[in-house]
Structure 1
Amino acid sequence: MLNLKNLLRISLLSSVIILSNCSDSINELTPNKNIDQSTTLVQNFGILSNNKTFLDVDKAFIPIISALNSNTLEIAFQISPEYYLYKEKISLVTNSKDVKIGHLDLPRGLTITDEWFGKMEIYREEVFAKTSVARATINTEEITVSLAYQGCADAGLCYPPQIRNFTVSLPKATSVNSNKLKPIIPISEQGRLAELISKSNIFIIIATFFIAGLLLSLTPCALPMLPILSGIIAGGNKNNVSKSFNLAISYVLGMSIVYTLLGIAAAAIGIQLQAFFNAPWIIILFSGFFIFLAFGMFGYFDLQVPEALQNKMAILSGKQARGTYIGAFIMGALSSLIVTACVAPPLVAAFMVIGQTGNVMRGGIAIFSLSLGMGVPLLLLGASAGKILPKTGEWMTSIKKAFGFMMLALSIWMISRIIPGNIALALWGILFLSIGIYLIRFLGLSTPMSINKKTNASIGIVASMYGAAMLIGAFLGNSNPIQPLAGIVNQTSKKIDSQKLIFKRIKSIDDLNNAVVEASKNNKNIMLDFYADWCISCKEMELYTFTNRSVQEVLANTLLLQADVTLNDEQDKKLMKTLGVYGPPTIIFYGSDGFKKDGYEVVGYMRVQQFISHVKRVLGQST
């Protein structure tokens, strides 16, 4: 309830706003001479909270409007510390008959819960926006534009809506574009999913994201969890269906719960989760952990909970097996960190809902359903492993060693994100050579030579030859495991090198703005690719999509920019935050008019034909 003192304050402030608006209608104010009379009156009445002196509105918010080119205006605000602007209160109009102003491209702001307006997006420190200008003539001309905005101080004062008039000189245009205003913004895949989370029935959300998770389970990001769970089942000798399936459930629940909690926390407080859990020290730690597990599979020690802890758990639960399930749950929780290496539209959609609307429940349900869908193959593995895996004996020992080699492969897969490509290729070569020697020496050449042993020996020879080829390729500087000898046997590597897209690297907002202006002058489109060394899907795009000749043809008149956010430093964070990027790989497009193509972002890996169709649609090419 409002007490008398607060009621008086509100009444006085309302009177001030009314007086200010009346004054505005009497006096024509210019940008350089406009004095915020409401602030002066409020100060004279002495109703500033805690007796603080507030800045004049023209000092708290400094607007600047300039022409970037003949058809583009840029609006900038310098915002004083402890002050902020409302995003939805910013607008730009003109009364000029020969000029029309298009949609104002405002970046994503910070979401707050305002006492009077509810959930609002705000800007602090500075904000930049662009808008297109459609002209009836090509001659140099001056136009008058009116900029409206409203802001507040953290200490409790909200200024009345402001309108400032600016005179801007538009340079001579190369052609008339009176009908070429910015088109209607399409909705991206992640945008559609975010809208589904916000507005649809909860059961539709669960079903949609469960199916999306099932599809993601077939990607390279989720597949590494299969050998981990297989190793747990094999290592625990759980060779009946019931126990194997229970282990799988424990593993999937550990992965899903932790993955959901991490996703909610990251979206709510704005942490770039993908970059954090792919820091070099974390990758090295996990890579070493998989080597440790591999040696356990090879029989150098037993992978089990310490005996003292097992006894205590047995006393508490009355079931010795419970410790194994807890171990599977913990491994699932750790495996959830592996999944963070990939960003996909469904995950970005959930992040958008949590970060922009604060609806943690709906966003969390979406992430949890997504992770359960990703766990379906793991549950199928658990249900079938009890029948597939052999009982105890020599074959069980061989199976464990096979899983040991899988753990080593996971270790190389992890560490290859942060080491040079030729070094990673050498590690793969050593692994395959070791597998080949093992198959030949221990499983293939012992007597008597059965059909199985001959098969093992044959596979071992092939694996050894492949490993040797990778070692030779690594020595020569190659990095592609699929074509380790490219350039030696034929000229394939030269062809591939000639097909690689050449990107211009950018680091900051200024670099991007300069590139956009330059591309606009040359009538070129822009494709901005967010990349990181530790990003799996980025490597897929680089190896499979960007090397395709048809992809290069549709991007012929496009300036290719790349932001390497491997370090995730302050400039990287600022660039991603300004453009609303949640992590790599994300591709953003700009038209030749210098405007960002909202709704056309590419998130995650996209196959060649799908990417070509998407680019043609973005750039208005015929399909």
Structure 2
Amino acid sequence: MRFLQSIIVVLLLFGAAISTQAQLQTTSPLAPPEVQVRSAPAETGASGATTARITVEIPADHHGYLDSGDEGLLIPLAFTFDNPGIAAQEIARPQGTRDDQAHATVLRGQGEFVFRLALSDPIPESPHAKLRYQICNDITNICFPPRTVQVPLQLAAVQNLAAPKTELLQSEPAPTSFRERLAALFRQSTSNLFFAIALVFVAGLIASATPCVYPILPITSAILMARGGGAKQSGHIHAFAYFVGLIFFYTLLGVFAVTTGTALSAVMTNPWVNLGFAVLFVYLGLSMLGLYEFQFMPALTAKLDSASSQSSGLPGTFWMGTTAGLVVSPCVGPVVGAILLDITGQAAAVSAADTALSNQIVVRGIALMTSFGAGLGVPFLVVGLLSNRLPQSGAWLSKVKFLLGLPILYFAYTYYIKSLETLGVPVNVAHAMLVGVVAIVLAVFIGAFHTMGEKPPQHLQLRRACGIILLVVGIHFLYNGLGNSGILIDRPSPVQMAAATTSPVDDVETHGNLRWLRNISTARQLARTESKPLFVDFYATWCANCKAFNSLALKHEELNQALQQAVLIKIYDTDPDFKIFQQDQRFPELRGVGGQPFLPLFAIYSPRGEFLWKGQDYKAANTMIAQLERAKHATVQ
């Protein structure tokens, strides 16, 4: 009897366990945690396209899939737009994390999906998107059945902004600086090849007047005086060879741009390239000061000259001119950017099968860059021709060389600062490192390592003592500078440092008395609310002129006041918003050439979000002030 009772108790417990497990298995799938899905008000971009942002928030201790996994069996988060009159393209999604257990990329917490919408007129009623997803529990590893939810889209703001147009937008705003007018004129005349060639020739002449070209002119004079050997006719021939070599460099640049879609800008923005230019200018400057005799690649030049003795060393002079073109290439401005964009844009638009048209594009691109090189080379040719009419020696020449050496050293300093700023090294740290290097060089020059006899003269002892003191000071400054620069010890990148000084709530970056927002949606909303123009600064840590604008915005009193009366946003080239703007046809500069954007770039919008102006000249303070004032008074019809 007792045995039977025990059997009955065991069966009852077993049945209760089975029923409990069955209840868990049947109720869990029926009541999965809710995934929160929210859509932000859609925004109209500069080109008229609409951007929609949808935020997905996964419950705690759960994850959703961003891909179908290594085996392609998982159900990822996927949006569909089935409203008639709405076409959508996904342009950004959460990065997520790799889950080795699930063998897939998963989303935990919150993530944002961004879509580019093409809308019909009128906008469809009750616009919405549908999200299909499947989430799994991180603790129990239970995956719930797939679900589909409907997400309303907030397009009312788009409808309100789409109809009204600003009176000031009836025509493109006229640029106020000469360089901007020249660049705009080139963009408007690209269909007229001969006029475009003349324009870029003038642009080359203007580029030759920039400060960064200046140091090469006296160096050119010194080279050609030596190469000409005092003979007038020989000097003229070498001057033309130098001129042709410089043109050849820009012709070659045009060939690369039209055939490969790449540009030298990617190289010239490299900090180590700029540091190399700094070292080159130091070498040239010290030579002009008389510390040693300057010789341009003597071994290579001698080989070229000996290989072509009949041309009296012309190949060496030719390659010197080519190198000069490389050295002054960082001076290219908005016009050259427009040329390269025009060349690569037309090359990309031509079908590979259309051989005749492709050849025309190649010829056009080469002709434009050759014309620019010719314009840039005219001052070098003039200096070369005149240099052979000057006396070849005398005390006057030493004094002139000394005076010319000082500004060359200054430009070496500017390239040095530009290089380290691009690497994210603070200016004060860069100065400390420079002081250290100069002190060590002076210590060696004075005689810190010179050996002395048993009873050296007192002045030699004093000189060596000063050298040792300078050596200690130099090592101290250089070591501490390197330690704070991130070269010896890792330090946060410029983007991380900016993020560390950014408010997590307002997403604000502060420079002096200027507050720069970092979120385009927040900035546009604030501009509408406060009826202020929106000023956009497209920024990159490798862009030295972007950093120069930061300084100008604080030092230029009128520009600073104008910026304080606007809503400011700084968009880094690593931000998702930057990639969205790259899709905007109004900003080909952000796509650049060969994937390298042309920065800096600035844009101004009216308080209601209409695009009014863009420019790349960071020194055009008066232009920016005028356009901000114009945007402030933009009225809706």
Q: Normalization by structure 2: what TM-score?
A: 0.53
- % same residue: 20
1:99: which partner in 2? none
Task: State the Cα distance separating 1:342 from its structure 2 match.
Answer: 4.1
Task: State the Cα distance separating 1:233 from its structure 2 match.
Answer: 3.2
1:128 aligns with 2:116: yes
2:624: which partner in 1? 611
The one-letter code of the counterpart of 1:291 is V
Question: Per-residue displacement from partner, 1:41-99 (whole Å, max 9, x unpaired)?
Answer: xxxxxxxxxxxxxxxxxxxxxxx997427999835699x99xxxxxxxxxx9979xxxx
2:514: which partner in 1? 502
1:137: which partner in 2? none
Distance 1:129 1:290, change over 3 A: farther
Q: Which of 525, 530, 533 is residue 538 of structure 2 equivalent to?
A: 530
The one-letter code of the counterpart of 2:556 is N
Task: State the Cα distance separating 1:534 from its structure 2 match.
Answer: 6.1
Moved more, 290-299 or 214-223: 290-299
Aligned residues: CA RMSD: 5.3
Gaps of 5+ in 2: 1-37, 55-66, 69-82, 92-112, 130-150, 175-180, 348-360, 421-425, 440-476, 482-509, 593-597
| Pairs within 5 Å for 1:81-230 | 128=116, 143=125, 168-170=153-155, 179-180=164-165, 183-184=169-170, 186=172, 190=183, 192-197=185-190, 199-200=191-192, 202-230=193-221
**Residues 253 and 369, structure 2, Cα contact 8 Å, conserved in 1:** no
Instruction: For 2:576 and 2:376, locate their aligned partners in 1 and report how far apart those are by CA, in whole Å.
Output: 33
1:362: which partner in 2? 364
1:68 aligns with 2:42: yes
Task: State the Cα distance separating 1:219 from its structure 2 match.
Answer: 2.2
Q: Which of 331, 337, 342 is residue 353 of structure 1 equivalent to?
A: 342
2:524: which partner in 1? 516
1:588: which partner in 2? 603
1:387: which partner in 2? 389
Instruction: For 1:387 and 1:430, locate their aligned partners in 2 and report how far apart those are by CA, in whole Å.
Output: 43
Distance 1:555 1:329, change over 3 A: closer
Q: Which of 244, 247, 267 is residue 253 of structure 1 equivalent to?
A: 244
Task: State the Cα distance separating 1:325 from its structure 2 match.
Answer: 1.5
Q: Which of 333, 348, 352 is residue 343 of structure 1 equivalent to?
A: 333
The one-letter code of the counterpart of 1:340 is P
Q: Which of 296, 313, 326 is residue 334 of structure 1 equivalent to?
A: 326
Task: State the Cα distance separating 1:369 from its structure 2 match.
Answer: 1.7
**Residues 216 and 374, structure 1, Cα contact 8 Å, conserved in 2:** yes
Gaps of 5+ in 1: 1-63, 82-91, 96-103, 108-124, 135-140, 148-165, 434-470, 476-497
**Residues 246 and 324, structure 2, Cα contact 8 Å, conserved in 1:** yes
1:550 aligns with 2:567: no
The one-letter code of the counterpart of 1:409 is Y
Instruction: For 1:375 and 1:265, locate their aligned partners in 2 and report how far apart those are by CA, in whole Å.
Output: 20
**Residues 254 and 329, structure 1, Cα contact 8 Å, conserved in 2:** yes
Distance 1:142 1:392, change over 3 A: closer
The one-letter code of the counterpart of 2:329 is V
**Residues 222 and 374, structure 1, Cα contact 8 Å, conserved in 2:** no
1:560 aligns with 2:568: yes
Question: Per-residue displacement from partner, 1:233-261 (whole Å, max 9, x unpaired)?
Answer: 35547556544544443334333332343
**Residues 525 and 591, structure 1, Cα contact 8 Å, conserved in 2:** yes
Question: Alignment partner of 2:125: what SS?
Answer: strand
Instruction: For 1:417 and 1:177, locate their aligned partners in 2 and report how far apart those are by CA, in whole Å.
Output: 43
The one-letter code of the counterpart of 2:621 is V
**Residues 412 and 424, structure 1, Cα contact 8 Å, conserved in 2:** no
The one-letter code of the counterpart of 1:610 is T
Instruction: For 1:126 and 1:266, locate their aligned partners in 2 and report how far apart those are by CA, in whole Å.
Output: 32
Instruction: For 1:592 and 1:363, locate their aligned partners in 2 and report how far apart those are by CA, in whole Å.
Output: 40
Question: Alignment partner of 1:528: what SS?
Answer: strand
Instruction: For 1:334 and 1:533, locate their aligned partners in 2 and report how far apart those are by CA, in whole Å.
Output: 23
Question: Alignment partner of 2:333: what SS?
Answer: coil
Instruction: For 1:426 and 1:616, locate their aligned partners in 2 and report how far apart those are by CA, in whole Å.
Output: 41
| Pairs within 5 Å for 1:304-343 | 304=296, 306=298, 310=302, 313-314=305-306, 316-335=308-327, 338-343=328-333
Instruction: For 1:247 and 1:275, locate their aligned partners in 2 and report how far apart those are by CA, in whole Å.
Output: 32
Question: Alignment partner of 1:340: what SS?
Answer: helix
Question: Alignment partner of 1:594: what SS?
Answer: coil
Distance 1:374 1:425, change over 3 A: farther
Distance 1:266 1:570, change over 3 A: farther
**Residues 258 and 344, structure 2, Cα contact 8 Å, conserved in 1:** yes
Task: State the Cα distance separating 1:210 from its structure 2 match.
Answer: 1.2
Instruction: For 2:438 and 2:555, locate their aligned partners in 1 and report how far apart those are by CA, in whole Å.
Output: 27
Q: Normalization by structure 1: what TM-score?
A: 0.54
The one-letter code of the counterpart of 1:210 is F
**Residues 106 and 130, structure 1, Cα contact 8 Å, conserved in 2:** no
1:438: which partner in 2? none
Instruction: For 1:409 and 1:207, locate their aligned partners in 2 and report how far apart those are by CA, in whole Å.
Output: 34
Distance 1:212 1:361, change over 3 A: same
Larger Rg over CA atoms: 2
1:36: which partner in 2? none
Instruction: For 1:253 and 1:325, locate their aligned partners in 2 and report how far apart those are by CA, in whole Å.
Output: 10
